[in-house]
């Protein structure tokens, strides 16, 4: 591979395939050949839990292309799929397996999002329809929510809901690296039935390697996260290296309990906010840091009113000079009336009016 890789990534080959990239040719022969892009073939799909009436969860084992640079436990990856065979939609998923090296297999664990429409839901498609053999588009692993190379003697991991995936990856990595220190692992879930990785966590607890596992279900009477509770489990916890990941309410409790301690590292997944169906709300221009009350006019006009000078041309939606990235919120195309709420979407700001809160990179 390395010789082939050197050739594929050479400047000469790039000059020969210019103006297109080498990958644009390779993918036509075999989607698993790539010089720069990252793709992966699904090699296995395993259902984790399947509680009737609740969104199913599945773990997908992925064989990436040789361009995959590997990941560190706790990182995430962007996964792009064409749900309807035409529109590629991209979502971020945490990697659930232990650290991977370049080109090495890894897993993502996905909970089907029950709220998303079928057409746009990557998670539902991955859990319900993805089959071994399917090729996915990936980014390289991203994120700083990672274990350091030298892991402290005692670590605390706190997670809630789907936030278990990155910390599970950390726990698995620690086991693989034969970490002999102490790990306090706290996880909050709705009920024991929802608990993914339950068997493996139980095994870890019994392994005798100093892993304390606490699976908590406050709805069934278990203690909620509080300084007092943490103190009981880990005296002086504010000075113990802690990794926490979960839904907003849990994270608020964690932040409050650690009170600005430097030992705490967090990862936060915010669900995409749906449009409110009306104007009003707040506009955030994330590049310039400006903000404004949403007047309901097209974003280009509102940005200009806020003193910004975004690039523009025709101002009628045909030339694409004004395309910008919307990271959050819903916009309505004033020409077609179509609404769209996808996160990280390129939109023509001259014909896109925000509906409710909206964040655009301007």
Cβ–Cβ < 8 Å for 358, 330: yes
* Residue indicated by tokens 């999002």: 113
Interacting partner of 3 out of another protein, ligand FES, none (Cβ under 5 to 8 A depending on kind): none
Which residues are at the interface with another protein (CB under 8 A)?
Answer: 12, 15-16, 18-20, 24-25, 28, 80, 82, 84-90, 313-314, 316-321, 323, 335-338, 346
Distance of closest approach, residue 346 Cβ to another protein, in angstroms: 7
Distance of closest approach, residue 11 Cβ to another protein, in angstroms: 11
Mapped onto helix, strand or coil, the DSSP state of residue 323 is strand
Q: Is 53 left (phi over 0), alpha (psi -120 to 50) or beta?
A: left
Interacting partner of 152 out of ligand FES, another protein, none (Cβ under 5 to 8 A depending on kind): none
Distance of closest approach, residue 93 Cβ to another protein, in angstroms: 17
Distance CA 313, CA 311 (A): 7
Distance of closest approach, residue 158 Cβ to another protein, in angstroms: 35
Distance of closest approach, residue 19 Cβ to another protein, in angstroms: 4
Quick one: 178 or 309, whose CB is closer to ligand FES? 309
Quick one: 2 or 12, whose CB is closer to another protein? 12
Cβ–Cβ < 8 Å for 332, 348: no
Distance of closest approach, residue 259 Cβ to another protein, in angstroms: 43
Sign of CA dihedral 130, 133, 139, 142: positive
Quick one: 17 or 286, whose CB is closer to another protein? 17
Distance CA 173, CA 107 (A): 13
Interacting partner of 252 out of ligand FES, another protein, none (Cβ under 5 to 8 A depending on kind): none
Distance CA 217, CA 201 (A): 16
Which residues are at the interface with ligand FES (CB under 6 A)?
Answer: 312-315, 317-322, 348, 350
Quick one: 123 or 162, whose CB is closer to another protein? 123
Distance CA 110, CA 60 (A): 8
Quick one: 103 or 317, whose CB is closer to another protein? 317
Interacting partner of 350 out of another protein, ligand FES, none (Cβ under 5 to 8 A depending on kind): ligand FES
Q: Roughly how many angstroms between the first and final C-alpha of the chain, as a whole number? A: 42
Quick one: 290 or 334, whose CB is closer to another protein? 334
Sign of CA dihedral 279, 284, 288, 289: positive
CA distances 15 to 27, 125, 330, Å, are 18, 38, 41
Distance of closest approach, residue 122 Cβ to another protein, in angstroms: 11
**DSSP H or E stretch at residue 354:** strand 352-360
Quick one: 86 or 228, whose CB is closer to another protein? 86
């Amino acid at each position: 591979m390395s010789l082939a890789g050197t050739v594929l990534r050479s400047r000469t080959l790039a000059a020969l395939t210019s103006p297109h990239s080498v990958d644009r040719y390779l993918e036509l022969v075999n989607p698993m050949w790539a010089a720069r892009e990252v793709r992966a073939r699904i090699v296995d799909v395993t259902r984790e839990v399947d509680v009737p009436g609740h969104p199913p969860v599945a773990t997908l084992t992925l064989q990436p292309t040789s361009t995959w640079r590997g990941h560190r436990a706790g990182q995430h990856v962007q996964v792009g799929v064409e749900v309807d065979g035409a529109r590629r939609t991209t979502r971020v998923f945490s990697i659930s397996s232990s650290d991977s090296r370049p080109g090495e297999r890894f897993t993502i664990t996905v909970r089907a999002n029950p709220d998303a429409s079928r057409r746009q839901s990557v998670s539902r498609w991955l859990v319900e329809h993805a089959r071994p053999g399917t090729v996915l588009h990936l980014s390289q692993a991203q994120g700083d929510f990672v274990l350091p190379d030298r892991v402290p003697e005692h670590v605390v991991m706190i997670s809630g809901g789907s936030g278990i995936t990155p910390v599970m990856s950390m726990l698995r990595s620690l086991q693989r690296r034969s970490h002999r220190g102490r790990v306090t692992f706290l996880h909050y879930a709705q009920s024991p039935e929802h608990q993914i990785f339950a068997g493996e966590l139980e095994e870890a607890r019994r392994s005798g390697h100093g892993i304390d596992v606490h699976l908590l279900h406050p709805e069934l009477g278990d203690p909620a996260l509080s300084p007092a509770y943490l103190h009981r489990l880990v005296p002086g916890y504010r000075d113990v290296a802690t990794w926490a990941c979960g839904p907003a309410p849990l994270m608020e409790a964690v932040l409050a309990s650690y009170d600005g301690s430097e030992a705490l590292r967090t990862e936060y997944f915010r669900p995409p906010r749906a449009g409110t169906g009306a104007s009003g709300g707040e506009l955030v221009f994330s590049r310039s840091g400006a903000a404004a009350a949403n007047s309901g006019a097209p974003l280009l006009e509102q940005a200009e009113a806020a003193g910004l000078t975004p690039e523009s041309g025709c101002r009628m939606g045909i030339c694409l000079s004004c395309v910008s990235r919307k990271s959050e919120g819903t916009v309505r195309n004033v020409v077609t009336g179509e609404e769209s709420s996808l996160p990280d979407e390129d939109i023509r700001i001259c014909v896109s009016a925000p509906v409710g809160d909206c964040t655009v990179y301007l």
